[in-house]
Structure 1
Amino acid sequence: MKLTRCTLAAALLAAIAAPAAHAEIAIDVIGGSEVSFEGLVQADFYKFDTDHIDYGADSAGGNSACSTSTDCDGKDYLQELRRAELVLKGKGPGNIEWVLGYDAKDDKFLDVNVKYKIGGNGNHFIQVGQFKQPGATLEELSSTKNNDFVSKSSITNTLGTPRRVGVQYNYGDVNWGLTASYFGRELTRNREHGSGYALRGYWAPVNEAGNIFHIGASYLDKDTDADALRLRARPMADMVPTRYVDANLNRTDRASFVGVEALWVHGPVKLQGEYMKTDVKRYGGADDFSGDGYYVSGLWNLTGETWGYKAGVPVTNLPDNPDKGLWQLGLRYDTIDLTDGAVVGGKMDSITAGVNWYWRSNFKFMLNYVAVKQKRASGFKLANVTIPEDNPNVIEARAQFYW
């Protein structure tokens, strides 16, 4: 299914017809299940201060040096619909909950699963279907509509495992949890595959209104399936086809990922950081590979709101004053290193400064400035040109509507 004008128009009309509220649209009670409808529409704009590479090219043909290739379109910007997510949810009968989500922009299924809450406890359940894996980052497990920055961190986008079909068991309480899952391929055809398992544990020894301290750890191990694994990072701009940092591995067997995370909220301030490391087992005389990365970020709610906490992730609250909205300032340092021995995937460091405005209950506007530094010891070959480093600066904007 491709995104059409009719599809998007239907989503927007349904949302506009809904009351101005943060919650989903209640549809009906069917078979004892309270059915509701949610949606998320995002449009992004990027403007590049190009160094050597034409990141504004509309296709992967931009993977050529602009001075020697006709593939570059001469533009230093990109603008496109980023997401068009349509989600049906159901509560009941009994302790059963279900969700059916689809991204009409990316033509893929989102969460498609059924959950059974044991004893009615929302943090003690069994889940079957497609869902975000517990081996993903804290940032990935948080709600997409409340991303702190336009682009998620490099470890989330490069080392994190996306949604997969599987079975999951979670046991915990309001301030701690343990999760284990076994998974296979992604539900959408020709997407991610390779079976594996994931574990995550977290604990919030301090968990009260406006005062939260959270720590957690995760482990994921998976088969690389086709005996090949490609780890690569965009320059902190999600829709860019070019990846300067790129480790293309063959003769791979299994890959494991270890992550640690920490979160601190005090009133209108939130500090968050994560580290992730991957180890890839290879055969046929090829050396094993290791790569890692981390980020540290800080958010300040200028209008005084704080954050909530649910199921081991932070929750962004509604504006205290809907007309004024919720204003945030954010700063993040991010790094990833995909060079190990003979595999020269490169290294990327970036600093992102941003401002977010949540207006009323259904709108969000974001503006980021990103300074990126990328290096590869062996150089990055584009056409007949070798580029030892590339350091673009990016201005990113996002308009978001959700219900």
Structure 2
Amino acid sequence: MKLSRRTLSMALLAALAAPAAHAEVPIDVIAGSEVSFEGLLQADANWFHSDLANLNGSATDGKDGDFKLRRAELVLKGKGPGNFEWVLGYDAKADKWLDTNLKYKIGGNSSNFVQFGQFKQPNSLEELSSTKNNDFISKATITNTWAVARRVGVAYGMGDANWSVTGSVFGRELTRNLGAGNGFGLRGTWAPINETGNLLHLGLSYARYDAELGAVGNNVQDTQRWRARPNADLSGVRLVDTGNLTLADKVATTGLEGMWVKGPFKLQGEYMRSTTGRGGSFSDFTGKGAYLSALWNVTGETWGYKAGTPTTPLPNEPESGMWQVGLRYDTIDLNDGSLNTSGATPVVTGVLGGKMDAWTLGANWYLRSNFKLAANYVKVTSSKYNSTAKAILHDDPSVVEFRAQFFW
């Protein structure tokens, strides 16, 4: 769905003119379950200042930007009967199921539970955090590349306010032709400091699953491919790309995470290292990356903490809203090989998927309890071996991003 500048502006003005609503809409008590309705609408605009590749993904349309409805999430939730909770979510824009699961809180404690259905797997602080409260418009490159999001499975978790351990076994996504591969995930968190406005969080995760099944030529075989957009969700181009890793077996990703909150300031970072095992004469492929971000609530609010993730507060002053400014450094390395240029023809050993770094400067404005406007400027530097040019090419574009969001 394409949105013109006029359509996007009118939708935004209509949303801002609407009266404030509650964070969720209670519906009724049905069979002992308190049912409520939530929704999230996001409209994005990206303006590309391309370098080598046309980030808009088309060399003929003559446009340097893109405008789209990003998400249209509709979610039913239920509390009860007893210690049961359930959720049924669907994204009408992406035409896919979101969280769709049943949870039982052991002893009524939300930190001790058994969960069945589709849910986000226990890995990545950023992936597990609420989408509507993302610090930046595009998630970090390693999150989009290696974090295991929603899969159908079973999970067991235990802990308290300061620590948690969660394990799961999972298969494919509920919506067909999306994420697949049977596996398991583990995540442990510890908050040695956990006070209002004073928080230190540490986490470790590990996920291992089967590589995806795909067609290569006339053969059907396990194939994995890693690639990344330039921190711009609407870009049709990936600047780093391993290509098809054939005869792939298992994917194993280890993640380290940390977060420090002091009053209105938050530092957050993650590191991931992912290895794709391969059969035959192929060597295993290992990629790695990290991000580090800093966020400041200019209007003085601080963050909460629940289930090993931060929670974003409502504005202290609903009429003027909450203002945030942030800066993030983001890097990913998909090179796991070497390039020999001593002969007449360069020789590549292993995989040279490229390396990409990005700086993102952002601002967010949360107005009342239902609206958010976000603006980002992204500067990217990348390098990747090009087999046609027989050289390493550098592509260093920039992107201006804007998001209008309504949620309830």
| Residue in structure 1 matched with residue 290 of structure 2 by the alignment | 294
| Residue in structure 2 matched with residue 345 of structure 1 by the alignment | 353
| Residue in structure 2 matched with residue 51 of structure 1 by the alignment | 51
Hey, what's the Cα distance between the residues in 1 that align with 2:139 and 2:160?
Answer: 28
Shift of residue 72, structure 1, vs aligned partner: 3.1
Find out whether 1:253 has 2:246 as its counterpart: no
How do 1:267-306 residues align onto structure 2 when only pairs under 5 Å count?
267-306=263-302
Shift of residue 175, structure 1, vs aligned partner: 1.2
The residue type paired with residue 99 of structure 2 is D
CA 171–18 in structure 1, closer or farther in 2 if over 3 Å, else same: farther
The alignment of Structure 1 onto Structure 2 pairs a total of residues equal to 376
Hey, what's the Cα distance between the residues in 1 that align with 2:368 and 2:387?
Answer: 46
1:186-232 CA-to-partner distances (Å, cap 9, x unmatched) read 00011111100000000001111100000000000001142110111
3-state SS, counterpart of residue 89 of structure 2:
strand
| Residue in structure 1 matched with residue 216 of structure 2 by the alignment | none
The residue type paired with residue 176 of structure 2 is R
Given the two structures, how large is their TM-score scaled by the length of structure 2?
A: 0.89
Query: Given that residues 86 and 100 in structure 2 are in contact (C-alpha distance below 8 angstroms), is that contact kept between their aligned partners in structure 1?
Result: yes
Greater alpha carbon shift after TM alignment, 239-248 vs 161-170: 239-248
Find out whether 1:334 has 2:330 as its counterpart: yes
Query: Given that residues 83 and 106 in structure 2 are in contact (C-alpha distance below 8 angstroms), is that contact kept between their aligned partners in structure 1?
Result: yes
Find out whether 1:217 has 2:204 as its counterpart: yes
Find out whether 1:370 has 2:365 as its counterpart: no
The residue type paired with residue 353 of structure 1 is L
| Residue in structure 2 matched with residue 194 of structure 1 by the alignment | 181
Q: CA RMSD in A?
A: 1.9
Shift of residue 23, structure 1, vs aligned partner: 2.1
Hey, what's the Cα distance between the residues in 1 that align with 2:212 and 2:362?
Answer: 39
Hey, what's the Cα distance between the residues in 2 that align with 1:47 and 1:256?
Answer: 35
| Residue in structure 2 matched with residue 402 of structure 1 by the alignment | 407
How do 1:1-400 residues align onto structure 2 when only pairs under 5 Å count?
20-57=20-57, 62=58, 71-135=59-123, 137-226=124-213, 227-248=222-243, 249-341=245-337, 342-376=350-384, 378-379=385-386, 388-400=393-405
Shift of residue 164, structure 1, vs aligned partner: 0.3
Greater alpha carbon shift after TM alignment, 217-226 vs 362-371: 217-226
Query: Given that residues 56 and 237 in structure 2 are in contact (C-alpha distance below 8 angstroms), is that contact kept between their aligned partners in structure 1?
Result: no
3-state SS, counterpart of residue 73 of structure 1:
coil
Hey, what's the Cα distance between the residues in 2 that align with 1:247 and 1:215?
Answer: 31
1:222-261 CA-to-partner distances (Å, cap 9, x unmatched) read 0114211011100101122211201121111101000000
3-state SS, counterpart of residue 174 of structure 1:
coil
1:156-193 CA-to-partner distances (Å, cap 9, x unmatched) read 00111121000000000011100000000000011111
- Segments of structure 2 that go 5 or more residues without pairing to the other structure are 3-11, 214-221, 338-349
The residue type paired with residue 307 of structure 1 is W
1:256-279 CA-to-partner distances (Å, cap 9, x unmatched) read 000000000000000000000001
Query: Given that residues 203 and 258 in structure 2 are in contact (C-alpha distance below 8 angstroms), is that contact kept between their aligned partners in structure 1?
Result: yes
- Segments of structure 1 that go 5 or more residues without pairing to the other structure are 4-11, 63-70
1:356-393 CA-to-partner distances (Å, cap 9, x unmatched) read 000111000000000001111x2275xx8987121110
Shift of residue 21, structure 1, vs aligned partner: 4.0
Hey, what's the Cα distance between the residues in 2 that align with 1:222 and 1:22?
Answer: 40
Shift of residue 19, structure 1, vs aligned partner: 6.9
Hey, what's the Cα distance between the residues in 1 that align with 2:336 and 2:108?
Answer: 48
The residue type paired with residue 400 of structure 1 is Q
CA 132–380 in structure 1, closer or farther in 2 if over 3 Å, else same: farther
Query: Given that residues 54 and 75 in structure 1 are in contact (C-alpha distance below 8 angstroms), is that contact kept between their aligned partners in structure 2?
Result: no
Hey, what's the Cα distance between the residues in 2 that align with 1:270 and 1:38?
Answer: 27
Query: Given that residues 242 and 352 in structure 2 are in contact (C-alpha distance below 8 angstroms), is that contact kept between their aligned partners in structure 1?
Result: yes
Shift of residue 142, structure 1, vs aligned partner: 0.3
Hey, what's the Cα distance between the residues in 2 that align with 1:147 and 1:291?
Answer: 25
Hey, what's the Cα distance between the residues in 2 that align with 1:32 and 1:217?
Answer: 37
- Identity, % of aligned positions: 60
